Amino acid sequence: MAPMIQDDPAPTPSSDHKSSEAPPTLYQNVNEDSLRVGAKACLVNYGTKFEEDIVTGSKGLYVYTAKGHRVLDWTSGQMSCLIGHGHEEIVATIQDHAANLDHLFSGMISPPVVHLAQRLTSSLPVGLDKAFFLSTGGESNEAAIKMAKVYTGKFEIVGLGASWHGVTAQALGTQYHFGRKGQGPLMPGMHMLPPPNGYRSIFRNPDGSYDWETELNYGWELIDRASCGSLAACIVECIQSSAGMHVLPPGYLKALKKHCERRGMLLIVDEAQTGIGRCGDLFAINHEDVVPDILTLSKTLGNGIPLSAVVTSHEIERLCAERDFCFYTTHVNDPLPAAVGDKVLEIVLRDDLVANSRAVGAHLHTGLLRLQSRYGCVGDVRGRGLMCGLEIVGDRQNKTPDLDLAQMLSKKMYSLGLWANLSSHASFGGVFRIAPPIVITKAQVDQGLEIMERAFAETPGSQALY
């Protein structure tokens, strides 16, 4: 079925950046100064600097501020609003279930939970046969790691140096570049593989190309030396988003699974951001034709509603149940978020949004490469489907990060009406992480690219090449 999408004309950013259409009306005429004072007085800093503007509305591909500034949202909220903000069918689903079937005792089963499990597992390869549903990505990864430990009877977990899997104890133990400080010892038995970074890795073939195989084998050699002989699982993202949108090289995931099988380990794939069509395949594992032992989903599955999933095989589920695996939470298998997830999957499959992600993603990638050809500060463009990274450097030859220039570009884009999240932490390297809703049209991509082009042209230090 052809995508139910129409290209709309790309508006030119206005000089005062005001929207020509009426923004959502839930929060009109708010007192921004009072809200900022309240935020400073009452909100905990949880590891990020709050943006200055107060956001009062969101609809479709846009967010709206108290000042009337309409901003094209190229990160889908927190990489989650897969089919856009305020999607009418999602709104209706939430309203229906808030009124009629919202939350239950955790041992009760309801139709939306069964329907989501059926639709999800029927969309996945054989071997990913049974599912249960939680609230966040970190929670689903925590459950998957616990499941791997119970199934194997072992406790050591391997992660990649640039992954982000959550902030709960076991999930945090598998990510290595941020969030680990100030809390004393982390979970025992955690090991790190080198982050696969084709742009910056020191592992090179004689022709200069990225030698990821040597890097991966070297990493496993180090882990084998460090291991106490209790390797249970390896967890991996197919695109390392938080570290700057680094795509696993072709063949990497298959090689990783072979390493796991050799050591009697399970492979866990975290598709929080890549799942449900984002990367031009329904699931990123489809692209490499790899079936992990456990798959986790979150973010995109709930379109911004807290929903995550753990999916595994009949055999792993059977043995874990025999061994009293327990991950019993207040919101496990809640009906309202499950109904939303089922509706998201229905819409993505019905409207062929995977094909849209693939086609419009290629259009986006071409546009970003065109920017790279025009501005010397663009060191690298990478990604797949509607998940792209654009890395800002001060010197292409030496690949020197330029975080200050990246910040100036980010502020300029935002002032012109585009939110493209900048990874500003030093370990992230000044990368724009671009992941718009997969209902985006080529015209809307062109609108964002036009804003980016103008921001580069008007920002000192962007190194215009022509």
Please identify which of the residues 73, 139, 270, 380 carries the catalytic annotation.
270
Please identify which of the residues 220, 351, 433, 447 carries the catalytic annotation.
433
On average, the pLDDT of the chain sits at: 93
Residue 346: active-site member? no
Query: How many helices and strands, by DSSP H and E, does the chain display?
Result: 14, 18
Residue 299: active-site member? yes
Q: For the chain, which domains are there? A: 32-41+56-86+353-458 (3.90.1150.10), 90-350 (3.40.640.10)
Residue 164: active-site member? yes
Per-residue pLDDT band at 21 (split at 50, 70, 90): low
Residue 270: active-site member? yes
Question: Quick one: what percent of the chain has pLDDT higher than 70?
Answer: 94
Compute how many other C-beta atoms are within 10 angstroms of the C-beta atom of residue 96: 12
The end-to-end CA distance of the chain, in Å, is 43
Residue 453: active-site member? no
Query: Among 380, 422, 333, which Cα is nearest to 114's?
Result: 333
Please identify which of the residues 170, 175, 240, 273 carries the catalytic annotation.
273
User: Is 90 exceeded by the pLDDT of residue 116?
Assistant: yes
Per-residue model confidence (pLDDT) at position 182: 86
Say if strands 130-134 and 308-312 run parallel, antiparallel, or are unpaired.
antiparallel
Per-residue model confidence (pLDDT) at position 4: 36
Please identify which of the residues 237, 281, 391, 450 carries the catalytic annotation.
237
Please identify which of the residues 70, 139, 164, 343 carries the catalytic annotation.
164
Please identify which of the residues 70, 154, 257, 299 carries the catalytic annotation.
299
Q: Which residues pair with 269 in a beta bridge?
A: 236, 295
User: Is 80 exceeded by the pLDDT of residue 78?
Assistant: yes
Phi, psi of 322 (to 5 degrees): -60, -30
Q: What gap in Å lies between CA 283 and CA 273, rounded to an integer?
A: 10
**Which segment of 14-23, 25-34, 134-143, 359-368 scores lowest on mean pLDDT?**
14-23
User: Is 60 exceeded by the pLDDT of residue 6?
Assistant: no
Q: What is the mean pLDDT of residues 253-282?
A: 98
Per-residue pLDDT band at 12 (split at 50, 70, 90): very low
Per-residue model confidence (pLDDT) at position 183: 86
Residue 8: active-site member? no
Question: Quick one: what percent of the chain has pLDDT higher than 90?
Answer: 86
Token pair for 189: 């038995």
Per-residue pLDDT band at 424 (split at 50, 70, 90): low
User: Is 90 exceeded by the pLDDT of residue 200?
Assistant: yes
Q: What gap in Å lies between CA 191 and CA 55, rounded to an integer?
A: 40
